[in-house]
Chains A and B, each alone.
Chain A
Amino acid sequence: MANPHDHHPGDPHSLHASNSEERLWHRAAGLPLVDLAEVSSRYGGTVALENVSLKIWPGQFMAIVGPNGGGKTTLLRTILGMVPISSGKVLLRGRPLTRSALERIGYVPQLETIDWNFPITVEEVISMGFFLKNRWFGGIAEKDKRKLNNIMERLNLAALGKRHIRELSGGQQQAVFIGRALLGDPELILLDEPASGLDIRSRDDVIHFLHEINHQGVAVVLTAHDLNWVAAHLPWAVCVNQRLIAEGRPNEIFNAEVLRKAYSGELVVFHHDGTVMIGERPHAPHM
């Protein structure tokens, strides 16, 4: 299993430059952002996660893959404290889950869960990210307005602020919700299937945004179905199917044995130009 510390970009000139020393200190001290220790959870009588242990490090860029119902979304929701755990523990920065600790985590839901008929503009959605800072009262300060504009520019949304969210392309829609998560100055962003339902161009836009965010020192953890997309763009992957099956670089863990354990089926794995590629094994035609 490769060392997850190897690939952290950690740009000191980032949005979080003031926190960069703190980040380095935590890495040096070996303190992960998130530490799941033998976590199990259930929905009613159904096991969702069983004895999953996983660490997420500052600046890490990680995909969680696995079959439908394998616990990918539950894993994200467990980190956010939205799923009660039956055993094990979840630590954020070495401490139990608390409201203030969760404030440094941004969450981007699946686009399918959004009501696209809701009368709301791009700017109104992104501004929801101020909730953590301004809570129930107080206006948006001039400094925060500049920050909002800055984030919209970075995500190429500056000219689209007054547009309804349904008028955007899939990639732009995903960028809106990434923007809302960024407004809370997160150390970690969790994204639930950000590439799902997007065309190739939009998926490219999304991974471009995420790489940029990660290069600025924010840890990014996403769930994904497309193993080839993960292998092509992400440096680290975790494979789950209720249990943690494997963790490491996609090139190393996307092999026939791991995929058989995860997906209970035979997949074709081959390497091309340094990248692993996974294909489905065609069924023999009936004669």
Chain B
Amino acid sequence: MSFLTPFEYEFFRNGLIAAVVVGGLCGFIGVYVVLRRMSYIGHGLSHAIFGGAVLSYVWNINFFLGGGLWALLAGFLIHSISHRRWVGADAAIGVVTTSSFALGVAIISTHRTFTRNIETALFGNILGITQTDLGIVVIISLMVCGALYLIRRPLLFATFDPEVASAYGIATGKIDLLFITLLAVTVLASTQILGVTLVAAAMVIPPVIGRYLTQRFQTLLITSPILGALCGAVGMFLSFYFDISSAATIVLTAAALFTALEIAMLARGKKPSVVL
């Protein structure tokens, strides 16, 4: 079997493009997710989408539409509950996302006819992605990256120093809401590829690896998506050759890279100068 063998299959070509695009997107937005200490939000939103995905199947609505609206609602609820400061952000995420996930499980228990579709939502189905799905994923990725580029200055200021950002006239509440909306859309685009259980890893591991490699924010914004896309591509090839789940292989590739870096650091007796 040669290096080019997998390219003979359309499902692999589509899957490879999707893995690279989603890996890059998750790596990009993941920089802000990790620095804003919102890793748990990414994890929670993906689980919240599960409720929307199940309802989409039951009501026969397009997954992106049903799941998207559900994700936006969950993001808005998390934002509004945590901003009232009566409840911490972590507790707000716990309440909203587990409730949504539980709703999905409850509906499944009464409709046992779509087990296969639910498995797709949980663990992803990158090899079953169609040209239309791919087009939607690419468009969503371009829109999210474009929006993040446009708000890059206030978003960096509000992420690094929210108190002074507010004094400089940045509407930090609105920026937070916009960011959580973009995050919800990213999770939605990634769920069909990686599944609700693995999306968060794709958003967290690349920026954490990138953090070992650079101390500059601008450089991290470049290295993290490259690492995400690279892990997506390598994971797809390994998945093909070893016949393992693609989503799991992509995440395990990123985890292996992280572990290798950790071991290399330990072997050289070096501690990272800065930790997340």
Binding site for B on A (CB under 8 A): 77, 80, 82, 99, 102-103, 107, 109, 113-115, 117-121, 124-125, 128, 131-132, 134-137, 162, 164, 166-167
Contact = CB atoms under 8 A, between A and B. Distances in A.
A137 B217 CA distance: 18
Contacts, number: 71
A128 B274 contact: no
- What interface size band does chain B fall in? 20 to 34
Interface string B155-188: 0110111011011111000000000000000000
Contact of B274 (A102, A117, A131, A134): A117
Q: Which 5 A-B pairs have the closest CB atoms?
A: A164-B215, A107-B167, A80-B167, A120-B217, A117-B274
Contact of B157 (A128, A162, A167): A128
B163 A113 contact: yes
B43 interface: no
Contact of A128 (B151, B160, B273): B160
B217 A136 contact: no
A121 B156 CA distance: 13
A282 B155 CA distance: 51
B224 to A, nearest CB: 10
Contacts of B220: 119
Greatest chain B CB density within 10 A among A114, A120, A128 is at: A120
Contact of B161 (A99, A114, A119, A164): A114
A121 B168 contact: no
B132 interface: no
B216 A131 contact: no
23 contacts: A80-B167, A82-B163, A82-B167, A102-B169, A103-B169, A113-B161, A113-B163, A115-B160, A117-B274, A118-B35, A118-B159, A119-B214, A119-B216, A120-B160, A121-B215, A128-B153, A131-B153, A132-B168, A132-B169, A135-B153, A136-B154, A162-B216, A166-B273
Given A107-B167, A113-B163, A124-B217, A119 B157 contact: no
Dominant secondary structure at the B interface: helix
A214 to B, nearest CB: 21
Contacts of A134: 153
A35 to B, nearest CB: 19
Contact of A121 (B151, B159, B166, B216): B216
B154 A120 contact: no
A115 B165 CA distance: 14
A145 to B, nearest CB: 15
A113 B162 CA distance: 10
Interface in B241-276: 273-276
Given A119-B211, A119-B216, A131-B157, A166 B274 contact: yes
